[in-house]
Chain A
Amino acid sequence: MDETVAEYIRRTVLKIPKDELKMMLQKWGFLSEAQLQTLNFHQIKDNISQEVVQLCEENSADIKQAAVLDIIYNHIYQNKRMWSVYQMKKSGEELEYFDITDFKKKFKRRLRSALKNVTITFKEYEDNAIWIRVAWGTPHKKPNQYKPSYVVYHSQTPYVFISSSVLKSTLPLLCQALIVASNYHDIREMELRSHSLNSLKDIVFKRYSQNFQTCSPKPLQGGNGEPENADTRIVEENRSEKERIHRLNQRAFGSGPQPKLEFAQYRLETMFKSDPKMDVLDKKEPFRCLVKFSSPHLLESLKSLAPAGMADAPLSPLLTCIPHKARNYFKIREKGGLYPESFVSP
């Protein structure tokens, strides 16, 4: 077995938490059940990984098998990576039958014609997701297995989720190969990024409960976290205000759980306008700023701002539009210049 492959397997195994290791090796299926029985999972990880490498040596593992183990690890720990969303465009309306073998063949051929040294690995998962791992080399160097790109393609959709290699020059090659292989003619990056791959899927596949207009206001229920006042002598003076905020929040965000995003970024190039009493800057040029919101669960956090008194209800459409516009990067410019509400997002 190649030394670089042995080292790669050793390092991959070291990344895996001890209590997940057996399960992952089983999923991998490269080592037999009998071989797995011989492993002592209670020793220190250094020793376990050495034993695994030994077994792989017995089975003459090559980089292809090692790459599959890496995909399995990254599929389970997908939220450790940052994913960007891309949308492919077809020229015509024809719905072609998707042939996975054809896809793989075309993808490999396109990449290999541009770059001789690449390692390309595929793995299919239940939800029509095809995971692709590409390790990149140069005409003179073998592929760097430690900085691969990962692509998740749902064949029934035009969407591709890419966790890019830090080697930036590889991205155009990857995109090219994708459109050729899937019979699309163009691909564009959506301004949508997150660690939570599932949430990105929820957003573009519209799998979350969307905001919609409700005609009749719902009565305030205790279930949204507001404690009922046990003491009936205490009257909520602003109960109607609380209900109004709740209603507007429902309208803006919908009533179901929000997709999980960690940040939203706004590049503002709008005019600076503040209270005329303040006698401040009134330039003819835009006030340039960059605003970034971050949270472990951004949309839930934004949803709770108005009830907490930190924001007006309804919250700005710049924030509430994130899921249905399927983007969390925005560039905002002034439209017309007269009405502060009329922002354009190009």
Chain B
Amino acid sequence: EKADPQKTAFLLRKAWTLYSVTPLYGFRRARLRDYARLLGAFIAAEKQKGLAVEVGAELDIKVALSSLADIRGSELDQAALLVQLSSRSRGSSRSSEDKPVWWGWFCSVFGDELSESVPEHFTCLPLFLSHGAESYTALVGSWFQKTFDCCFRRLAISPLNLSWMVAMWAGCKLDRAASAVELVFSVPCLAQPLDISYAIHPEDAKVLWDTVQKTPGEITQEEVDVFMDSLYAHFHRHFKIHLSAAKLVKISTAIASAHCDGIVKILHSQYLPGVLMLLTELAISQIQ
């Protein structure tokens, strides 16, 4: 399913913080306008209490909820849900002057594993991505938790999953000049911490992956291991350092980049569904 590039343009090139979300109870697609109003009132109330953000007192926060029908894997998936917070200076009533300050969206791309196992009245949108001030994320998150009895948890990405991502994405075919395939390692527990960036020319990385992958369209753990081990061996040959003993904290390719703290940036719309599918899987395994 290809998502409409215009509608999904806002998703690209932003750093999204990832969360897993347990199924929402009692969520009804028809009530999006009501939810927006209620969330807006909640945020205003929290601001009054002085619990909210550093935004100046003159700014109102407007909430918009919408469905992104194109962002889903199969018909079994719920359409993605977008929450957008905009600021509007008091005294202005024109929505054209609203400045977006925060985005959060729930999605499920081939999340059948979860949606098949939940009872009625539950909506499965296990992956949540946010961009903007942490304080807004906390407000929106706590409203959803209270209203739909769900639970948000930060989604960390393990070095194992990061190596899957870099192997998969390094092998993707790209039409124009691509950026390097970069792996960033951290060796924190020395007296002086050390970071190592290992950036490979994208053509050379792809050729390497192509010699490793046996069946196009399929990836095995063994192939990912061989890919990574051969990169480690090449590094060791030069520097005598065992990269496998360091912590892989971030990977970056022309398609997307991912950080172990659960922060992802998607750069290429063509591969958006593939990336979301992988992240949905990670979210689901954290929930279960």
Among B190, B200, B239, B240, which residue has its beta carbon within 8 angstroms of that of A301? B190
A295 close to B238 (CB less than 8 A): no
A278 close to B194 (CB less than 8 A): no
A281 close to B192 (CB less than 8 A): no
A295 close to B204 (CB less than 8 A): no
Contacts of A61 in B (CB 8 A): none
A46 within 8 A of B: no
Assuming A275-B233, A283-B207, is B240 touching A311 (CB within 8 A)? yes
* Partner-binding segment picked from B42-50, B241-249, B261-269: B241-249
B199 close to A291 (CB less than 8 A): yes
B187 close to A318 (CB less than 8 A): no
How far does the alpha carbon of A297 sit from the alpha carbon of B192 in the complex, in Å?
A: 6
A289 close to B193 (CB less than 8 A): no
A296 within 8 A of B: yes
Q: Mark A117-133, 1 if CB is under 8 A from B, else 0.
A: 00000000000000000
Q: Mark B120-148, 1 if CB is under 8 A from A, else 0.
A: 00000000000000000000000000000
How far does the alpha carbon of A268 sit from the alpha carbon of B192 in the complex, in Å?
A: 25
* Partner-binding segment picked from A26-34, A91-99, A160-168, A302-310: A302-310
B3 within 8 A of A: no
B272 within 8 A of A: no
Interface hub of B197, B242, B246 (most chain A Cβ within 10 A): B197
List residues 287-326 of chain A with CB under 8 A from any CB of chain B: 287-298, 300-302, 304-305, 308-312, 314-316, 318-319
Closest residue of A by beta carbon distance from B180:
A290
A340 close to B193 (CB less than 8 A): no
B199 close to A290 (CB less than 8 A): yes
Contacts of A288 in B (CB 8 A): 200-201, 204
A270 within 8 A of B: yes
A273 within 8 A of B: yes
Closest residue of B by beta carbon distance from A302:
B194
How far does the alpha carbon of A315 sit from the alpha carbon of B239 in the complex, in Å?
A: 7
Contacts of B211 in A (CB 8 A): 280-281
B187 close to A332 (CB less than 8 A): no
Cβ-Cβ contact count across A and B, 8 Å cutoff: 123
Among B193, B201, B233, B242, which residue has its beta carbon within 8 angstroms of that of A311? B242
Assuming A291-B196, A293-B196, A294-B197, is B242 touching A310 (CB within 8 A)? yes
A287 close to B238 (CB less than 8 A): no
A289 close to B246 (CB less than 8 A): no
B234 within 8 A of A: yes
How far does the alpha carbon of A308 sit from the alpha carbon of B191 in the complex, in Å?
A: 10
How far does the alpha carbon of A99 sit from the alpha carbon of B123 in the complex, in Å?
A: 82
Contacts of A305 in B (CB 8 A): 187, 190, 194, 241
A272 within 8 A of B: yes
B200 close to A289 (CB less than 8 A): yes
A300 close to B240 (CB less than 8 A): no
A315 close to B207 (CB less than 8 A): no
How far does the alpha carbon of A309 sit from the alpha carbon of B239 in the complex, in Å?
A: 14
Contacts of A43 in B (CB 8 A): none
B207 close to A268 (CB less than 8 A): no
B208 within 8 A of A: yes
How far does the alpha carbon of A315 sit from the alpha carbon of B192 in the complex, in Å?
A: 17
The 9 closest A-B pairs by CB, nearest first: A288-B201, A301-B192, A274-B233, A274-B230, A312-B240, A301-B194, A311-B241, A292-B197, A297-B192
Query: Chain B residues in contact with chain A, CB under 8 A?
Result: 180, 187, 189-201, 204, 207-208, 211-212, 226, 229-230, 233-235, 237-242, 245-246
Query: Chain A residues in contact with chain B, CB under 8 A?
Result: 225, 266, 268, 270, 272-275, 278, 280-281, 283, 287-298, 300-302, 304-305, 308-312, 314-316, 318-319, 332, 340, 343
A-B contacts, 10 listed (Cβ < 8 Å): A274-B230, A278-B230, A280-B211, A288-B201, A296-B192, A301-B193, A305-B194, A311-B242, A312-B242, A315-B241
